[in-house]
């Protein structure tokens, strides 16, 4: 299946707390658009050279200058921030990779890139930012205007190892995401690398507090056209969380021909992993983006 035409990139803020138990946490050693045809081709000119600092866990980061192109509120407490990464954007080659962003002396924030890699983006990405950090990088980004300068790291991570779930062996592909964890899952769904049209069952369990707090609702119909059944899980409606809804799903599951992609709350990832392995899914086919 050819890659969708979506040309702008989104990302999920990595570590934040979501409402009602839906959170998305990420550390380097921890578990953690189809309808658009826009192509960002303009480039930011005369960006200053890179600087070197150390991230909070001690890893050296080579910082470069980027620039905000636009911002937009897309859900309750969530905004998209379109950023030109300049030349470092070429490092985005696989869904599930991430980037760090900071502004001056602000604490760097991690964002998992959410739309599929596309050379035609010319280094432009779109970040999905949860504005819940008073005075922090997230708030600065959400309040920024066109032309605002930011510091960006190289694109990091290996992305999702979807090659471990070939379509000729894996007929059922499951996605599990909570809160802003939808971002890298969205990237993978729209990347064309999952061969969705060659699988018998593809489901996305997407947990948020309520519809108003749910990003990318407008893309659900496009995902369905790609063959993805979307199962929304709203904790405010007393549905429980993603792991609760999956546990109550009575449909049969052949573990030998199933793979799963997990991004979100650590407790959700652990619970889903336990359920899947009990159903015969091998750990090699439980895919994470780090």
pLDDT in tens, 125-136: 888 999 887 889
Residue bearing the bigger pLDDT, 203 or 35: 203
Length of the chain: 290
Q: Which CATH number does 162-287 carry? A: 3.40.50.80
> Would you say 17 and 23 are in contact if contact means Cβ atoms under 8 Å apart?
yes
pLDDT of residue 15: 36
d(C-alpha 12, C-alpha 110), whole Å: 8
**Predicted confidence band at 115 (pLDDT cuts at 50, 70, 90)?**
confident
pLDDT of residue 143: 94
27: exposed, middle or buried (C-beta count within 10 Å: 0-12, 13-18, 19+)? middle
Domain range annotation of the chain: 11-152, 162-287
Q: What single-letter DSSP state applies at residue 115? A: S
Distance CA 265, CA 270 (A): 9
Q: What is the CA radius of gyration of the chain?
A: 18
pLDDT digits (tens, 9 = 90+) for 57-89: 456 899 999 999 999 999 999 998 889 999 999
Strand, helix or coil at 263?
strand
SS3 at position 182: helix
- Under CATH, to which class is 11-152 assigned? mainly beta
Please tell me the distance from the alpha carbon of residue 278 to that of residue 247, in angstroms, as a whole number. Answer: 12
pLDDT band, residue 53 (cuts 50/70/90): very low
């Amino acid at each position: 299946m050819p890659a969708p035409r979506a040309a702008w990139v989104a990302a999920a803020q990595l570590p934040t707390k979501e409402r009602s138990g839906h959170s998305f946490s990420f550390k380097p050693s921890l578990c953690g658009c189809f309808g658009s045809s826009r192509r960002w081709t303009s480039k930011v000119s005369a960006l200053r050279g890179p600087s070197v600092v150390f991230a909070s866990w001690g890893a050296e980061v080579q910082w470069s200058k980027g620039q905000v192109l636009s911002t937009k509120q897309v859900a309750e407490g969530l905004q998209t921030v379109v950023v030109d990464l300049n030349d470092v954007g070429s490092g985005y080659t696989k869904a599930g990779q991430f980037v760090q962003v900071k502004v001056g002396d602000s604490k760097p924030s991690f964002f998992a890139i959410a739309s599929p890699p596309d050379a035609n983006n010319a280094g432009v990405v779109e970040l999905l930012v949860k504005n819940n950090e008073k005075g922090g990088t997230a708030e600065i980004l959400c309040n920024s205007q066109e032309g605002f300068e930011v510091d960006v790291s190289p694109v990091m991570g290996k992305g999702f190892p979807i090659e471990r779930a070939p379509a000729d062996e894996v007929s059922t592909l499951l996605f599990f995401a909570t809160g802003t964890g939808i971002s890298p899952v969205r990237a993978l769904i729209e990347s064309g690398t999952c061969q969705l049209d060659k699988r018998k069952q593809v489901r996305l369990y997407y947990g948020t507090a309520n519809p108003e707090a749910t990003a990318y609702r407008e893309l659900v119909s496009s995902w369905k056209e790609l063959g993805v059944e979307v199962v929304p899980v709203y904790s405010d409606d007393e549905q429980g969380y993603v792991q609760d809804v999956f546990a109550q799903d009575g449909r049969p599951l052949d573990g030998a021909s199933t793979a799963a992609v997990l991004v979100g709350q650590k407790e959700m990832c652990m619970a889903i992993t336990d359920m899947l392995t009990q159903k015969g899914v091998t750990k090699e086919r439980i895919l994470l983006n780090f």
